[in-house]
Copies of this chain bind each other. A is one copy, B any other.
Amino acid sequence: MKVFAVPDLPEISPGDSLATLVAERVDLRPDDVVCVASTVVSKAEDRIADLSAFPASPRARELAAGLERATGDEKDPRFAQAVLAESADLLMEAPFLLTETRFGHVTVNAGIDRSNVRGGDLLLLPEDPTESAARIEAGLDADRVVVTDTCGRPFRHGQRGVAIGWAGMPAARDWRGERDREGRELGVTVQAVVDELAAAANLVAGEGAGGTPVVVVRDFEFGDHGGSDALFRDVEGDFVRQALHEWSFEAE
């Protein structure tokens, strides 16, 4: 398997065709997986916004005040408003806003970025990254596209690449019914390969000024497995989320 960045991509602007820009720079094969950082998907889809577009509601002011109390830092209630506007559920109110985006991804601040943004204060995540992936895939010779983001997680420090949208392949390999080396049914049943692809791509893309938002994974074989497209847990099956709903932060 090879993992390489598409070279020399320009600064992406609203209306740019990522598919065209990528196709001009690399000879893709049908079974390549093209991993695209959400940052540039958002830029192409004009998800750039100004704080002034989010006048703060009383709820946003309340959240910002709570964050100020918890962190000691000044917080702009309009940013809290933007997070609310992008979220379907609020999992934690302090010491940071952990939310579920409208498309089901759980992340801090609804994934709104302030890094690598030009022409506005904020970069919102794509509205429907799986639709974005399908649109990009339609313009490429490669049949598989993953839209990625970088985010944190419980239990482990640091961030890593994850998939937030995908097209042309299932999100996961389903190993159910398959056997291990001893003929025993497998303990691991569903392998979230789109997340593993996103993580591999992130090693090459990096987080900084590298300018390498699109990474090709070549010769990845999904193999002869069942597939599953369930990636985001519903609250019913997510005990961590249930626990968080009952919990609230108390400053020392």
Judged by a CB distance under 8 angstroms, whether A47 is at the interface is no
Chain A positions 126 through 151: 1 when the CB is less than 8 Å from some CB of chain B, otherwise 0: 00000000000000000000000010
Per a CB cutoff under 8 Å, which of B113, B196, B230, B231 touches A199?
B196
Instruction: Find out whether the CB atom of B232 lies under 8 angstroms from the CB atom of A239.
Output: no
Q: How far is the CB of A228 from chain B (nearest CB, A)?
A: 7
Instruction: Find out whether the CB atom of B203 lies under 8 angstroms from the CB atom of A193.
Output: yes
Instruction: Find out whether the CB atom of B181 lies under 8 angstroms from the CB atom of A116.
Output: yes
Q: How far is the CB of A127 from chain B (nearest CB, A)?
A: 20
- Contact sample, A vs B, 11 pairs, CB 8 Å cutoff: A1-B3, A92-B239, A114-B184, A115-B188, A154-B240, A155-B232, A157-B230, A178-B208, A196-B199, A206-B223, A239-B247
> Which residues of A are in contact with B by a Cβ distance under 8 Å?
1-4, 11, 92, 95, 106, 113-118, 150, 153-162, 171-173, 175, 178-182, 184, 186-193, 195-197, 199-200, 202-204, 206-209, 211, 220, 223, 228, 230-233, 238-244, 246-247, 249
